[in-house]
Structure 1
Amino acid sequence: MKDRIKEQSIIFFEKKGFSETSIQDIVEALNVTKGTFYYYYSSKEQLLMDIHKEYIDDLLQRQQKIIDSGESQKSKLKGIIHLLISDIARNGDSGKVFFREMRHLTYDNATEIKKRREQFRLSIEEVIRQGAENGEFRKQLQPDMTALAILGMTNWTYQWFNTAGELTAAELAEQYSSIVLDGINTRNEG
């Protein structure tokens, strides 16, 4: 039931927003009582926090597998880009809630989620730093700015990416990887 509450809430939060969704909306859609909701969650905000933690913790675990893979830094960076795009394609509604609704978390909860987001970003920076040190990437790259650019490009995808559209998630991730790893100039061709 806890998972069903979370799934239904994600649907409502994505469509109506956190503020416009009531606990009553959620329980009516599930045909349960408010008591059932409160058995699992003390508040709507606690539910939102649970959604955020699950989302970022899953990304962190999957990112760590990529980092621990023993692949080149270039392959790791490409893997992280694929991870982010495939996740948005697979978990679109959760991604929208994750990116849009964090402002409704209490200060302490938002701080906890921001630390986890920062951990994800810092891991990307480290991949870039190691790649620059071992000659896979240009030495003059600023790992912090490059990581932010990658996250800005990939994370914004939740706003417009259509899984039934022109590109698959894998094709989009390849496009993004090419932009990041090869740039957009013709110097790198043939």
Structure 2
Amino acid sequence: MSKVSNISRRRRSAQTEGGADYTAKREELVRIAARLFKEQGYQSTKLAEIAREAGLDRATIYYYVGSKEELFRETVEGVLDDISAEAKRLLADQSLTWRERLHAIYVRLMASYEENYPATFVYIKEQMHEVAAEESIWAQEIMRKTRAFDQVLINLIREAIAAGELRSNIPPRLVEHALFGMLNWSHRWFTPGGPMTGAQVAEAFWSIFIDGMNPEKGN
């Protein structure tokens, strides 16, 4: 049995057993990887650099993770699941108007960017197109989840327009690009601990958006 396959076997065993120290080290590696991906770019970051930042040598890191791609997947998958579940919950909440539901998920999304910084920004910045081009089962599943989340957002916008809560003379897809494009572009400048929280940034953007989307304008 080769050294690499032996390490892989030990890694799978350790992941199954889930010891506290092992889990903590993997979580540290995910955090370090996300930071380096944000600072240097995913393609430019080497697994050896991640290992060095974590105090491991190149061989030892394979006891915790199988590849750089595995670290990237862990940085984004849980975040996407959480925000998608919240969006679906809000979509079904009939105690709120459509506009209130759209507002709630908008603010929650930016708060999630802050809470999970910089993992989500790595995905937004440079990985969406690469994931879309992959043919792996994981990549296909991530794109399925991304498209499902997008469908929830566009449905919220369409329902708000149909209910007369947003102006109707702008195509829903353009509304979505304008509104959520503001949030996604924040990867260029937003960092936690700045003068505004993620929620405050979202509220400021929302106030700009909702004034322009007032149904009394342009109908």
TM range (shorter): 0.7 to 0.9
**Selected match of 1:38 from 50, 62, 65:** 62
Counterpart in the other structure of 1:100 = 125
- CA offset digits 1:63-120 (Å, max 9, x no partner): 2233233311111111122012222233331132111231554612544433322222
**1:124 maps to which of 150, 153, 170:** 153
Q: 1:15 to 1:81 in 2, by over 3 A?
A: same
Tell whether the 8 Å contact from 2:161 to 2:167 is kept in structure 1 after alignment.
yes
Task: Give the structure 1 partner of residue 104 of structure 2.
Answer: 79
Find the counterpart in structure 2 of residue 68 from structure 1.
92
Distance 1:146 1:16, change over 3 A: same
Secondary structure of residue in 2 paired with 1:92:
coil
Higher mean C-alpha displacement, 71-80 vs 23-32:
23-32
Task: Name the aligned partner's letter for residue 148 of structure 2.
Answer: Q
In 2, distance between residues paired with 1:144 and 1:112? Answer: 23
CA distance in 2, matches of 1:118, 1:98: 14
1:2-41 matches, cutoff 5 A = 2-41=26-65
Asked if 1:136 corresponds to 2:194, the answer is: no
Unaligned runs of 5+ in 2: 1-24
Percent identical residues: 25
Select the structure with the greater relative contact order (CA < 8 A; seq sep ≥ 6). 1
Q: Which structure has the larger Rg over C-alpha atoms?
A: 2
Distance 1:79 1:36, change over 3 A: farther
2:102 maps to a residue whose letter is L
Give ranges in structure 1 of 5+ residues lacking alignment: none
What CA distance in whole angstroms lies between the structure 1 residues aligned with 2:173 and 2:140? Answer: 20
CA contact (8 A) 1:85 1:157 kept: no
Indicate the residue corresponding to 1:151 in structure 2: 180
8 A Cα contact 1:55 1:98, kept in partner = no
Which residue identity does 2:184 align to in structure 1? N
TM superposition score normalised by structure 1: 0.82
Alpha-carbon offset, residue 2 of structure 1 = 2.1
Which of 73, 78, 81 aligns to 1:49? It is: 73
- Inter-CA distance 40–166: structure 2 relative to 1 (3 Å threshold): closer
> Do residues 169 (structure 1) and 193 (structure 2) align?
no
Which amino acid is the alignment partner of residue 41 of structure 2? G
Is 1:92–1:158's contact at 8 Å kept on the other side of the alignment? Answer: no
TM-score normalised to structure 2 length: 0.73
CA distance in structure 2 between the partners assigned to 1:32 and 1:163 by the alignment: 28
- Displacement of 1:166 after TM fit? 4.0
Superposed displacement of residue 124, structure 1:
0.9
Q: Displacement, 1:41?
A: 3.0
